[in-house]
Structure 1
Amino acid sequence: MGVLLAYLFLSTYLNDKAKFYNIYKIPVIVPHTIAAFLVFTIFSQSGFLSRIFFRLGFINNMVEFYPMTFDTKGIGVILAYVWKGAPFITLITYDILKKVSDTYSKAALNLGANNFQVFWYILFPLVLPTILLGFIILFTFSFGAYEIPYLLGPSKPKALPVLAYIYYKSVNLKDRPYSMVINVFIILFSLVLAFLYILLNKIIKKNME
């Protein structure tokens, strides 16, 4: 979503609308707790969207609205992270796309390619390394994040950071080592992702040289 939005900003009139262009940056500065509150307010069974469906007659009562928060599929958690993460990817991808020469794009358009083909077969492979770097950053943060899974996640299964907190705060001190094990696993996994980020970044710089 972030990559497509960056392409739209670059290739359409939206690029000339400075005020509209800056709107997408708002989620980047919004705290994750506020993002969780917004998702709950809109997508919960008692939220804004379910009330609209009820008023329009799509559901007989708001309990029939499909639960998007506290659900085992983590839809609410995903929505919150998409809302927060897509603008970040848009921001870094847009700057890369601006630096890409439009020679290949113009040649493809002259040869009969449409805008989607230009994006998918020409621009996307060029910005893919940057997208992968952004993915590693977002995934590493989400993997160890606590607020959104705690506020929107299901009671079972729980995200690892939430589970570590529960074990740590348990009145049974025998549960505390489980918390330490989970935290160590999160740290080690994050270090692996950080190593991949550094390695990929070096490969990108080497190719650019």
Structure 2
Amino acid sequence: MTSIKKIKSYLGVLPVMILIIFVLAVGIFGAFLQSLGFFPIAGMNEISLKYYIDIIHNSEFIKSFGFTIYTTLVSSFLSVVLGVIIAKILVESKIKREFIYKLPIIIPHIIVALFAIIFLSDTGFLSRLAYFFGVRDSEKYFAHFLYNKNGMGIIISYIWKETPYVLLSVLSILRNLSGKHEMIAINLGASKLYAFWNITVPMLLPTIISTFTIVFAFSFGSYEIPMLLGSTFPKALSVQAFVEYQNPMFSNRPYAMAINIIIILFCIISVSVLNLIIKRIVLGGVRDE
């Protein structure tokens, strides 16, 4: 009976899944053909790797790629660290007001970017508040947050948006874990920090890596926040792809599609590598037991 119920549940979502997969497959395949220079509407019928070669040798693309990896890695890493720490604090304090940390999840990224402009710009709320409390050059300090090469505004916005997702993922695991292992270590003389780092964190590692993977892949291809808060140069890859796509010359369209395909391939490779790491960790844990 259980297997029949499972089959029925899968059949229930099958039409929607088929539609989603079809739309994604057609869109990605069309973008891939255009990235090879096959764009009949513009009179381009020859398939070539020319556009990929041109992009790879383009210094602007290299800098955009490095900038995207930098903002994505830093924000994803800090989100995971903060999510784990806050989850541990919530479990120990037994706070039940979940709406406080669930709220950022439902807020769209474009609204997060607007919040960042309101609060973090050189004339924003925090800058004015600092000036009110006697910081005379507050606008100079806050000028480094947005539209800057250091990507601080992008990183802060991603952290604010992604930390609650990591928190919820880790929190559900922490609440189901028995704390007896930590208590044994503490009773034997270990500090709380040592017990948490060496006992609980290894058990959380598959969840931590999987949430990092999701957050990293999503941020790497995200558009709204880098577009609204990023610098004019270097741009994030998603923004660079949009700029190329907006070029009035149809002959420039393959460059935009090539960047999009590179983003997709990079995310697929990153997710695959991290999934292999998770499997090795899980299998290693099973063997140790």
Residue 65 of structure 1, CA deviation: 3.4
Query: Relative to structure 2, which stretch is displaced further, 175-184 or 131-140?
Result: 175-184
Q: Which has the higher contact order (CA 8 A, sep 6+)?
A: 2
How many residues get paired? 205
* 2:122 aligned with 1:45: yes
Aligned partners of 1:94 and 1:185: how far apart in 2?
34
Task: Note if 1:153 corresponds to 2:153.
Answer: no
How far the C-alpha of 1:143 sits from its partner, in A, is 0.6
Among all aligned residue pairs of Structure 1 and Structure 2, give the percentage whose two residues are the same amino acid.
38
Residue equivalent to 1:7: 88
**Structure 1 residue ranges without an equivalent (≥5):** none
Give the TM-score normalised by the residue count of structure 2.
0.66
The alpha carbon displacement at 1:174 in A equals 3.4
Asked whether 1:85 is paired with 2:85, we answer no
Query: Root-mean-square deviation (CA), in Å?
Result: 1.9
Alignment partners' CA distance in 1, 2:255 and 2:265: 15
Cα 1:111–1:188 shift into 2, 3 Å = same
Give distance in 1, aligned partners of 2:141 and 2:207: 42
CA contact (8 A) 2:181 2:199 kept: yes
Would you say the 8 A contact 2:91–2:174 is kept in 1? yes
Change beyond 3 A, Cα 1:64–1:73: closer
Aligned partner of 1:96 in structure 2 is: 173
Counterpart of 1:26?
Answer: 103
**Which structure 2 residues correspond to residues 1-209 of structure 1 after superposition, within 5 A?**
1-12=82-93, 15=94, 17-19=95-97, 21-60=98-137, 62-63=139-140, 65-200=142-277, 202-203=279-280, 206=283, 207=285
Unaligned runs of 5+ in 2: 1-81
Distance in 2 (alpha carbons) for counterparts of 1:88 and 1:75:
20
Report SS of the residue matched to 1:18. coil
C-alpha separation in 1, matches of 2:184 and 2:116: 43
DSSP 3-state at the match of 2:112: helix
One-letter amino acid matched to 1:42: F
Q: In the superposition, relative to structure 1, how do residues 109 and 22 fare at CA in structure 2: closer, same or farther (>3 Å)? A: farther
TM-score by length of 1: 0.90
Distance apart, 1:194 and its partner CA? 3.3
- Note if contact 1:59-1:65 (Cα within 8 Å) is conserved in structure 2: no
Higher-Rg structure is 2
Select between 62-71 and 153-162 the one with higher mean Cα deviation: 62-71
2:71 alignment partner in structure 1 = none
Separation in structure 2 between the aligned mates of residue 74 and residue 198 of structure 1, nearest angstrom? 28
CA drift at 1:124: 1.3
Q: What are the Cα deviations for residues 142-190 of structure 1, in whole angstroms up to 9, with x where unaligned?
A: 1111111001111110000100000011123333221111011011112
